[in-house]
Amino acid sequence: MSSTKTQPARGMRDFLPADVRRRGYVIGVIKEVYERFGFEPLETPAVENIETLMGKYGEEGNQLIYKILKRGVHETTGEADLALRYDLTVPLARVVAEYRDKLPKFFKRYQIQPVWRADRPARGRFREFYQCDVDVLDSTSMLVEVELCSAATDVLVQLGFREFMIRLNHRKVITALLDAVGVPEAKHGEALVAIDKLDKLGEEGVQLELRDRGIATEALLEWLSVVCHSKTYGAVSSEDERDLDLVPYNSAVLEVLRKRIGKDEQGIRGLEELASILELATETSAGSRIKVDPSLARGLSYYTGSILEIEAEGMKGSLGGGGRYDDLVGMFLGKDQRVPACGFSLGLERIIALMSERQMFPSDLISAPADVMVMVSYQKEAGEKLEAAKDALGLAMYFRASGLRAYLYPLPNVQNQKQRAYAFKRGFPFVAVVGNDDRERGEVTIRDMRIGEDQKVKREKAVDAIQSRLK
Amino acid sequence: MSSTKTQPARGMRDFLPADVRRRGYVIGVIKEVYERFGFEPLETPAVENIETLMGKYGEEGNQLIYKILKRGVHETTGEADLALRYDLTVPLARVVAEYRDKLPKFFKRYQIQPVWRADRPARGRFREFYQCDVDVLDSTSMLVEVELCSAATDVLVQLGFREFMIRLNHRKVITALLDAVGVPEAKHGEALVAIDKLDKLGEEGVQLELRDRGIATEALLEWLSVVCHSKTYGAVSSEDERDLDLVPYNSAVLEVLRKRIGKDEQGIRGLEELASILELATETSAGSRIKVDPSLARGLSYYTGSILEIEAEGMKGSLGGGGRYDDLVGMFLGKDQRVPACGFSLGLERIIALMSERQMFPSDLISAPADVMVMVSYQKEAGEKLEAAKDALGLAMYFRASGLRAYLYPLPNVQNQKQRAYAFKRGFPFVAVVGNDDRERGEVTIRDMRIGEDQKVKREKAVDAIQSRLK
């Protein structure tokens, strides 16, 4: 009888208890690691003024923003004045501009909240999904980039990931390269969007897209070809990424880039920053995982410096990404005010999908929802039914006050056998009941469902009897 | 320079770190208590199909639902096909209908998520706010009502609330009373909405509203007057609610109601259920807190049985409310299918507001965001700057790996004194640095900021040196 009307909206998901527990486990690890790095929590509203979001994500982004009708009688105009949060970075920039005086310098914040995008739903792509962001404000130092890489690495390692890489590139380097291969500045944005699709479309696809947009210079195509075969830079090559010695590899890539860029000042500055990140990272958990990748572009328009993406072995798409965006807060503060900023976002949904696929969740995560089920002892006499219900309530209260999770069977007048069958089905390890001859003796009957054994104990010993056997 | 554009949307709030910690504390207690009762977590999307929500909350509710424009090119039509979640009960009913086969019988779930209402913002009333719901499906027994009252009581007591009452009434009793005082059935809904405003408008205000709606029969007005002076039922009266002996008081109220209702079968059934709740509750933490209140109506249209509201001493409005809604799931399942259900929702925002006002939060809740700040030792020589940064990164990593929360000062080339001043301002209890003569000796300089004392220790003793003094 269930009709389509009971399904969640397209691209959205309901999370049943086992799902919520899995998500809670991953979020718990992320929070723990972020807090260990000294990041502080921030939360912003799901709904933003529409002007806050528009024009921050590029043309494609604008289209994917969910827009909310003006409230009440104004709904009829069809005008939207609010919108759903599209990422956690733009709200952060707004917050930093608004509370400049209240927030500490070097505001290091984490934020774990859902975002919404009116994207076409596909396998692993949803319209509501969580982002887990860390950002550091007010510092231009590459120490920040390295800390972010290290925090993301620690999260993934603690969750059980072993084979993953952090791809690293720099917007200033890309800009210098595009200049060098003759792409006019006004077309840089389009070129970025095209190159960003390398993963999806492959070299030929991107070539086509560049031709369509009329920016496919010979030098650019040649460069694209270098980028697409980046497994062989100079003398360093490997068929298998895992065997790659990253130190000489990254040096070789930087050297190739240096030659192409020539004397472009901004480009050289970008290369220095990349080199600095690589050098500093050697002291951290991220040291052996960073790989310079000149094909990395990232779609969002607000990046100004380093860009980063995490790639797990054997998986399409990324587990997270980020970069530096030194101009975004200034867009909210007004002209000439610049607040350096750099951040990283872990993609919760991808992480969970991969962990489920690879059975990486701890096996004791989804246990029974309670330690003990309290039965309502079945009674034939009407007068005793109420007493039995009261006994059950009292016993459940007693268990809970002692820290046990107690599930009260929520119906009276059900045969004891049927109640026990229910407990078995739900996987409750213990069942407890004040049986008909128990009350006067101040006793409780406890059954260990795992071995099917009954035990009568004094009421005051009941908690111990259960706790001592719960491993 | 900050313009209105950096504020959150009207009626919405940003939560800075101290706010998030306070909210997290309260949510943590709520989750812990709910889980102790055997409730399981559920999460549903913020966005629902618009049909799912429309027509479930009464006319006023419909108007307060945030509606989302059809995506992409269809935006121009001004048509809305999605809407923001208005409460957690209707999504639960949808979920129960959709996953009937996957969910356990007696689905006991809790859900702590934000909801959105396009209400007029006011002090303490927001357009985005959290609800913390517990519901039990599939049971008609009053055991459920009692468990919900007890869970809500345990939450509030654990948070430190002492003086609060659970007001209890029954929709079937109200219906019988309205019949008895001559309000035609078609006008019952309007009468409920009017009586529900008793708190806000007072007796005269409600009288006016009833007259405006043309349902102010003499018998109804007389009944309203009884209800408004409910502190004197029969022989039981008290000026101060705290001095009220609830057992005789509730009996007296039920007696008055019984007389008014006469032979109305549904009404008698409702009274029996109220009596049953009172009797069963004596075994639980809620026993001494439930007060039958014939003036309680509750605005939502989906209630069918008991209704409940929690009122804290010295506070307008309620800390939470709920009731039985045996027909709502059926609206999603189709005709003739009935799934009994009863739930309770704690209002997180009110609870937090009251706790802040009354300084009920634990004093150690808002501590420094890290145990130790790692400085980047200031260097004059260019060549040594990089080494100092690497030392700092390495030391921070080492602290974190040992479980300390370590905040790395995220800028190099800053005088040590200035870095320490920053640490003091942020309240970090310890500062650690690999000073210029420390590196070769494998030492670390640790300053206890609380007493301003430096200590040089071997690097491998640094964690101990801090942990042993962090109480």
CATH (domain of B419): 3.40.50.800
- Residue B200: which pLDDT band, with cuts at 50, 70 and 90? confident
∠ CA B40-B41-B47, nearest 5°, is 145
The share of chain A scoring above pLDDT 70, in percent, equals 95
Contact B41 A24 (CB under 8 A): yes
Mean pLDDT of A364-392: 91
Residue numbers in A near B31 (CB within 8 A): none
B108 within 8 A of A378, measured Cβ to Cβ: no
Q: Is residue A367 included in any domain, yes or no?
A: no
Contact A42 B15 (CB under 8 A): yes
Q: Per residue in B131-147, pLDDT tens?
A: 999 999 999 999 999 99
pLDDT at residue B2, as a whole number: 40
Cα A407 from Cα A404, distance rounded (Å): 10
- Residue B191: which pLDDT band, with cuts at 50, 70 and 90? confident
Mean pLDDT of A460-467: 95
Q: Is residue A298 included in any domain, yes or no?
A: yes
Residue A271 is given by DSSP the state H
Domain region containing B461: 372-467
Mean pLDDT of B342-359: 95
pLDDT at residue A12, as a whole number: 97
Where is the domain boundary, A357, A386, A404?
A357
- Higher pLDDT: B325 or B300? It is B325
Contact A36 B404 (CB under 8 A): yes
Strands A236-237 and A232-233: antiparallel
CATH number at residue B319: 3.30.930.10
Mean pLDDT of A144-173: 97
Q: Is residue B365 included in any domain, yes or no?
A: no
Q: Count contacts between A and B (CB, < 8 Å).
A: 336
pLDDT at residue B1, as a whole number: 39
Residue B271 and residue B125 share a domain: yes
Residue numbers in B near A104 (CB within 8 A): 425-426
Give A64-121 as a DSSP string: TS-EEEPSGGGGGGT-EEEEE---SHHHHHHHHHHTTTTSPSS-EEEEEEEEE--PPP
Q: Per residue in A282-317, pLDDT tens?
A: 999 999 999 999 989 887 778 999 999 999 887 878
Q: Is residue A129 included in any domain, yes or no?
A: yes
Cα B150 from Cα B153, distance rounded (Å): 5
pLDDT at residue B190, as a whole number: 86
pLDDT at residue A4, as a whole number: 47
pLDDT at residue A232, as a whole number: 58
Least confident range from A415-424, B333-342, B449-458: namely: B333-342
Residue A328 and residue A218 share a domain: yes
Give B207-250 as a DSSP string: HHHHHHTT---HHHHHHHHHHHTTTEETTEE-SSGGG--HHHHH
pLDDT at residue B170, as a whole number: 97
Considering only CB atoms, B147 lies closest to which of A42, A78, A408, namely: A408
Give B319-363 as a DSSP string: SEEEEE-TTHHHHHH-TT----EEEEEEEHHHHHHHHHHTT-S-T
Please give the C-alpha separations between residue A415 and each of A138, A377, A385, A393, A412, in angstroms, as whole numbers: 67, 8, 12, 17, 9
Considering only CB atoms, B118 lies closest to which of A37, A40, A72, namely: A72
- Residue A230: which pLDDT band, with cuts at 50, 70 and 90? low
Cα A183 from Cα A185, distance rounded (Å): 6
Residue A409 and residue A277 share a domain: no
Q: Per residue in B34-73, pLDDT tens?
A: 999 999 999 999 999 999 999 888 778 889 999 999 987 7
Q: Per residue in A76-133, pLDDT tens?
A: 788 899 999 999 999 999 999 999 999 999 999 999 999 999 999 888 889 999 999 9
Please give the C-alpha separations between residue B391 and each of A245, B149, B326, in angstroms, as whole numbers: 24, 57, 65
Residue A170 and residue A45 share a domain: yes
pLDDT at residue B40, as a whole number: 97
- Spatial neighbors of B384 by CB under 8 A, at least 6 apart, are none
pLDDT at residue B288, as a whole number: 92
Please give the mean pLDDT across all residues of chain B: 91
Residue B324 and residue B444 share a domain: no
Residue numbers in A near B393 (CB within 8 A): 143, 146-147, 150, 280, 283-284
Residue B349 and residue B228 share a domain: yes
B235 has a pLDDT exceeding 60: no
Residue B130 and residue B31 share a domain: yes
Our CA-based measurement puts residue B203 at a distance from the nearest CA of chain A, in whole angstroms, of: 29
Q: Is residue B460 included in any domain, yes or no?
A: yes
pLDDT at residue B36, as a whole number: 97
Q: Which of A159, A188, A152 is nearest to A172 (CA)?
A: A188
Q: Which of A186, A183, A209 is nearest to A198 (CA)?
A: A209
Q: Is the pTM of the predicted complex or chain greater than 0.80?
A: yes
Residue B327 and residue B380 share a domain: no
Contact B143 A51 (CB under 8 A): no
Residue numbers in A near B8 (CB within 8 A): 44-45, 48, 94, 98
Residue B184 and residue B84 share a domain: yes
Considering only CB atoms, A411 lies closest to which of B102, B139, B276, namely: B139
Rg of chain B taking only CA atoms, in angstroms: 29
Q: Is residue A363 included in any domain, yes or no?
A: no
Contact B141 A410 (CB under 8 A): yes
Residue B276 and residue B420 share a domain: no
Residue A343 and residue A380 share a domain: no
Cα B317 from Cα B311, distance rounded (Å): 7
Cα B37 from Cα B143, distance rounded (Å): 13
B3 has a pLDDT exceeding 50: no
B239 has a pLDDT exceeding 70: no
Our CA-based measurement puts residue B180 at a distance from the nearest CA of chain A, in whole angstroms, of: 31
Q: Is residue B364 included in any domain, yes or no?
A: no
Contact B47 A128 (CB under 8 A): yes
Q: Is residue B362 included in any domain, yes or no?
A: no
- Residue A2: which pLDDT band, with cuts at 50, 70 and 90? very low
pLDDT at residue A465, as a whole number: 95
Q: Per residue in A315-334, pLDDT tens?
A: 878 999 999 999 999 889 88
Please give the C-alpha separations between residue B337 and each of A2, A408, B248, B302, B329, in angstroms, as whole numbers: 11, 25, 40, 16, 8
Choose the mutation target among A71, A81, A115, A339 for the interface with B, i.e. most B CBs under 10 Å: A71
- Spatial neighbors of B253 by CB under 8 A, at least 6 apart, are B230, B233, B292, B293, B294
Residue numbers in B near A49 (CB within 8 A): 5, 9
pLDDT at residue B230, as a whole number: 62
Residue numbers in A near B425 (CB within 8 A): 104
Residue B410 and residue B376 share a domain: yes
Structural domain count, chain A: 2
Where is the domain boundary, B357, B383, B415?
B357
